[in-house]
Amino acid sequence: MAITAAPEIVEAARTGDPTGVERLIEVIWPDAYRLAYAILGERQAAEDVAQESCVTVYRAISSLRTASAFRVWFYRLVVRRASEFKRRRARSAPVVTEAARDADSSDKIDIWRALAALPRPLHDVVVLHYFEGLSSREVASILHIPDGTVRFRLMTARRRLRELLTDAPETLHADREVQTHAI
Amino acid sequence: MQSDLLELCRDARTRIDVPAVPLDAIRSAAQPDRIIPGRPRWKIWTLSLLSVASIAAAAAAATWYGTHVTLTSGAVTLSADRITAKFRNASSKDVSAAVRSANFPVILPAGLPNGTRMTSVFTAGPSAVMLGYSLPGAWRASRHLVYILLANPAIVSNSSSSTNPAGKITLRVPALDLPSSRPPIRWRVGGEEVIVGNNTLTPSELARVKNAMLASARRRR
């Protein structure tokens, strides 16, 4: 579920061997892309973010002290790059993400549309916890927030998603505004 | 709800189509001459050039002594006797004129994202041409301008010792400035040195530009 690079692959890459680094990038690419897509909801943006993250891995993996630190380091990297991208995009007009747009248009709201309707703090913890299968402690470490805050946000997000996944699509925008002010 | 949500999210995650890993682009972007530089400073650059252009216009009778591009501590300095600039709505005619007057084989930037619009052309004598582009995509917001400097490799150096002889205009080019710890983004294509400023182009876009320019140089040979 989560980024699943075997320790020996990370260790081989950490020694600075280019073949080892490229092997590692091949292994982590799908996870990096999926995570970026879950956060951004756009294919091109996800590809750019995943690629930028892999470029950083290529350059900086040798500076990692231990192979066991790789997982959290890489998650932080992708999340940070995706957040930077979101900030840049937020300065322009709001966009409907591809994931939300492509979602099931039936009365029942698709998970992507529900996710897109969540405010960003809730959105990120949901992606890391439910999509990536990370524990609340790991999520806290990646986002640099207290564990209790993660658990509170997950509880709030679950309540919001329950409402969104059972509501009609028309209620999405109004709900989002209310929630944005409440968080 | 929690287990349902977990299932739903896991299922959604596995249904994401993953494109092939762009290993060549990653490898190319990770080379030491590739960086992700700091904030664009195109406004300062435009103002600087405006003032330089005014000085240049006032000294229209100046004699041509040559141009020099110096790369030090992340900064790009252009030293020249004469700079001409077309700031807005530059046309292919302006580019053709710059290419014709160049004393090196100019390979124009290629492979920029679809919808890119050229905005400005600067020439510093026959040895350097800088093109400004406005990139498409609302997500770029204010970071949509990119400047690409094409120069005769003979005038580019990492040492400032040969710059700023008496009578020259020396201009630090903010649009091409980078954080001090990082080298500029530069590469050689044929007999041309390419220097790219700011981080409005993503690594993949930069790799595409470089590859397209190299392909263009190969076709020319």
Token pair, residue B101, equals 């007057």
Which of A26, A95, A111 is facing B23, going by the closest CB pair?
A: A26
A98-103 — which CB contacts under 8 Å span 24+ positions?
A: A98/A41, A98/A42, A98/A43, A99/A37, A99/A41, A99/A42, A100/A41
Contact B190, B217 (CB under 8 A): yes
User: Does B181 lie at the interface with A, CB-CB under 8 angstroms?
Assistant: no
**What per-residue confidence (pLDDT) applies to A103?**
53
Inter-CA distances, B181 with A14, A114, B38, B178, Å: 23, 43, 11, 8
Which of A25, A48, A92 is facing B141, going by the closest CB pair?
A: A92
> What is d(CA B13, CA A38) in angstroms, rounded to the nearest whole number?
8
Residues of A in contact with B8 (CB under 8 A): 111
Same domain, A3 and A73: yes
Same domain, A80 and A111: no
Chain B, residues 16-55, CB within 8 A of chain A, namely 16, 18-19, 21-23, 25-27, 29-30, 34, 36
Query: pLDDT tens per residue, chain B (221 residues)?
Result: 566 788 888 888 888 888 888 888 888 777 654 333 444 445 555 545 554 444 444 343 333 346 777 776 666 777 777 777 776 677 888 888 888 888 888 999 998 988 888 888 888 888 888 888 888 876 766 677 888 889 888 888 776 555 445 445 666 665 565 555 566 688 888 889 998 876 678 888 888 898 999 888 888 76
User: Does B12 lie at the interface with A, CB-CB under 8 angstroms?
Assistant: yes
Number of inter-chain CB pairs under 8 A, A vs B: 89
Q: Total structural domains in chain A? A: 2
* Separation in Å, CA of B175 to nearest CA in chain A: 19
Digit-coded pLDDT (tens) for B149-198 = 898 888 887 765 554 454 456 666 655 655 555 666 888 888 899 988 76
Token pair, residue B107, equals 């390979």
Same domain, A65 and A104: no
pLDDT of residue A24 exceeding 60, the answer is: yes
Same domain, A49 and A81: yes
| H/E stretch holding A28 | helix A18-40
What would the DSSP string read from start to end of A136-174? HHHHHHHHTS-HHHHHHHHHHHHHHHHHHHHS-GGGHHH
CB contact under 8 A, A51 and B18: no
- Identify the CA nearest to B149 among candidates B133, B164, B165, B163: B133
| Domain range enclosing A73 | 1-95
Same domain, A108 and A37: no
Comparing B124 with A4, the larger pLDDT belongs to B124
> What is d(CA A127, CA A39) in angstroms, rounded to the nearest whole number?
7
Same domain, A148 and A62: no
The residue from A73, A95, A117 where one domain ends is: A95
The residue from A51, A71, A95 where one domain ends is: A95
For residue A91, the chain B residue with the least C-alpha distance is B141
Same domain, A27 and A85: yes
The residue from A71, A95, A119 where one domain ends is: A95
Same domain, A121 and A162: yes
Same domain, A86 and A104: no
Mean pLDDT within A103-118 = 69
Which residue of B8, B9, B198, B208 to mutate against A (max A Cβ within 10 Å)? B9
Identify the CATH number of the domain in which residue A7 sits: 1.10.1740
CB burial class (10 A; 0-12, 13-18, 19+) of residue A163? Answer: middle
Q: Which residues, including other chains, have CB under 8 Å from residue A133's CB and lie 6 or more apart?
A: A1, A2, B10
Identify the CATH number of the domain in which residue A178 sits: 1.10.10.10
CB contact under 8 A, A26 and B12: no
Same domain, A52 and A103: no
Same domain, A7 and A64: yes
State the sign of the Cα–Cα–Cα–Cα dihedral A83, A89, A91, A94: negative
CA neighbours closer than 13 Å in the CB half-sphere of residue B78: 28
For residue B3, the chain A residue with the least C-alpha distance is A130
- When mean pLDDT is compared over A47-56, A88-97, B66-75, B90-99, the highest value belongs to A47-56
- The complex scores an ipTM of 0.75
User: Does B9 lie at the interface with A, CB-CB under 8 angstroms?
Assistant: yes
Contact B134, B145 (CB under 8 A): yes
> What is d(CA B127, CA B155) in angstroms, rounded to the nearest whole number?
7
Which residue of B39, B139, B200, B201 to mutate against A (max A Cβ within 10 Å)? B139
Digit-coded pLDDT (tens) for A152-178 = 999 999 998 888 877 644 444 434 433
Token pair, residue B168, equals 């020259």
Same domain, A83 and A105: no
pLDDT of residue A58 exceeding 80, the answer is: yes
**What is the rounded end-to-end Cα distance, in angstroms, of chain A?**
29
Contact B34, B203 (CB under 8 A): yes
